[in-house]
């Protein structure tokens, strides 16, 4: 079977690759279009992007660092920093 691209996205509070994610999303194309085993995990699949990279994930996008002053306080809205990673896995037969 051919290799297909899987995507892992970490949402972080800082753009560093050694910062742990506060949220994450995983898209496993290798499992096919009818994925039945998706579950919400209590913990991210890796402690940070560096750990994922050491397991074969390649970074394809990083957020740039935003300059903020101390007066800015809390920021509302989506988590501003993301690291998007990719790796290729063998396509599994669909049931």
Tell me, what's the pLDDT at 70? Answer: 61
- Kind and range of the H or E run holding 51: helix 49-54
Tell me, what's the pLDDT at 60? Answer: 92
**What DSSP character marks residue 88?**
E
* pLDDT tens track for 7-48: 999 999 888 899 999 999 888 888 776 655 555 678 899 999
Tell me, what's the pLDDT at 68? Answer: 62
Tell me, what's the pLDDT at 51? Answer: 97
Percent of the chain at pLDDT > 70 equals: 74
Closest CA to 8 of 72, 71, 58, 76: 58
Judged by DSSP in three states, 72 sits in helix
Calpha distance 87→71 (Å, rounded): 40
Contacts of 18 (CB under 8 A, 6+ apart): 48, 49, 50
């Amino acid at each position: 079977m051919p290799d297909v691209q899987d995507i892992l996205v970490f949402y972080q509070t800082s753009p560093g690759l050694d910062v742990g994610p506060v949220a994450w999303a995983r898209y496993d194309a290798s499992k096919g279009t009818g994925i039945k085993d998706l579950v919400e995990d209590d913990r991210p699949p890796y402690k940070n992007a560096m750990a994922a990279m050491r397991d074969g994930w390649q970074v394809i996008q990083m957020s740039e660092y935003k300059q903020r002053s101390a007066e800015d306080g809390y920021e509302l809205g989506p988590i501003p920093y993301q690291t998007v990673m990719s790796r290729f896995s063998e396509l599994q037969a669909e049931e």
